Amino acid sequence: MRLILLGPPGSGKGTQAQQLVRRYGIVQLSTGDMLRAAVAAQTPIGLKAKDLMAAGHLVPDEIVVGIISDRIEQPDAHNGFILDGFPRTVRQAEELDELLTNKHMELDAVIELKVNEGVLLQRIETRAAETRARGGEVRADDTPEVLIKRLAAYRSLTEPLVHYYADHRIFSTVDGMMSIEEVTREIGRILDATSAGTSKAAGRTTPAKRSPKRGAARARTKATGTKTADREATALARGAARGAAKGRPAAQKGAKSAKSARKAPKQAAAVKKTPRKGTKTAKKLAKKRR
């Protein structure tokens, strides 16, 4: 299970991350912790980060990505991880996508804890007042003034990630104003659905490949059928030619019959004229006898 929790300071990301670590046996990867660990281990990337931090410079994205790359290959991260504090910008998200692609990995979910900033300010004011009432000292980074600055930074830098990951179809939003237990249940429901979808996709079987013998047999059958069709077509053509040849004498006879039929009226007319000649001759003979 590989996921990212998004949300402004005070939204409860740390609390929910601890719940997920216990439930799924994954590790929570904080960029700050990873940087300190890399520096302590004196890895090549850790030494670069150490020099930059000593000079008061921000650690560039490529070094942070390099530290993450090394960390997620360690044995305890094989079951998955939760990224805490990274990515903070769209550019970092793009570099993370490239890193995971190169490692043939992908994120399973990006979950945003959506909260009301006004309520967050009220919570931190209440917490600061309770700490003072107990005689404790309020941390410098746990005051309403600091929270206001951190919220402004989140809106300008990190909130665009909501739109970036929304296009990846792995993004979900959870109401962070619910109780801790309700938020935990809702995140669990989302991740269970994600796991079920992944298992279903993995369980799809691909069509069985045809064996070479069966494929060859089908090819022979197809070829045989084609030859048979060609022979039948040739036989039909020859039969048609023979039929046409036989039809020529009949056609010639028909032409002669038609010619004879055209002559018949003339012959009939000639027959009609013959009796007239015979009638004249009979009349002459009768006069002579008289």
> Residue 98 and residue 104: Cα distance in Å, rounded?
10
End-to-end CA distance of the chain: 146
Closest CA to 8 of 127, 128, 146, 129: 146
CA distance 215 to 185: 53
* Residue 22 is among the residues annotated as catalytic for this protein: no
- Asked about 123 being catalytic, the answer comes back as no
The one catalytic residue among 36, 114, 123, 127: 127
Amino acid at 290: R
The residue from 36, 88, 114, 123 that is catalytic is 88
- 139 catalytic? Reply is yes
Q: Extract the tokens encoding 91.
A: 């550019």
Q: Which position among 36, 114, 123, 150 bears the catalytic label?
A: 150
Cα atoms in the 13 Å half-sphere on the side-chain side of 162:
16
**Residue 88 catalytic?**
yes
Catalytic residue among 2, 13, 48, 50: 13
When computed from its CA atoms, the radius of gyration of the chain, rounded to whole angstroms, is 49
Spell 57-75 as b/e; 16+ CB within 10 A means b: eebebebbbbbbebbbeee
Cis check: omega of the bond before 87, within 30 degrees of 0: yes
**Residue that has been written with the tokens 């670590």 in this structure:** 21
Q: Which of 103, 132, 139, 218 is catalytic?
A: 139
Looking at the DSSP assignment, which residues form a beta bridge with residue 171? 110
- The Cα 196–Cα 180 span in angstroms is 24
Q: Which residues are catalytic?
A: 13, 88, 127, 139, 150
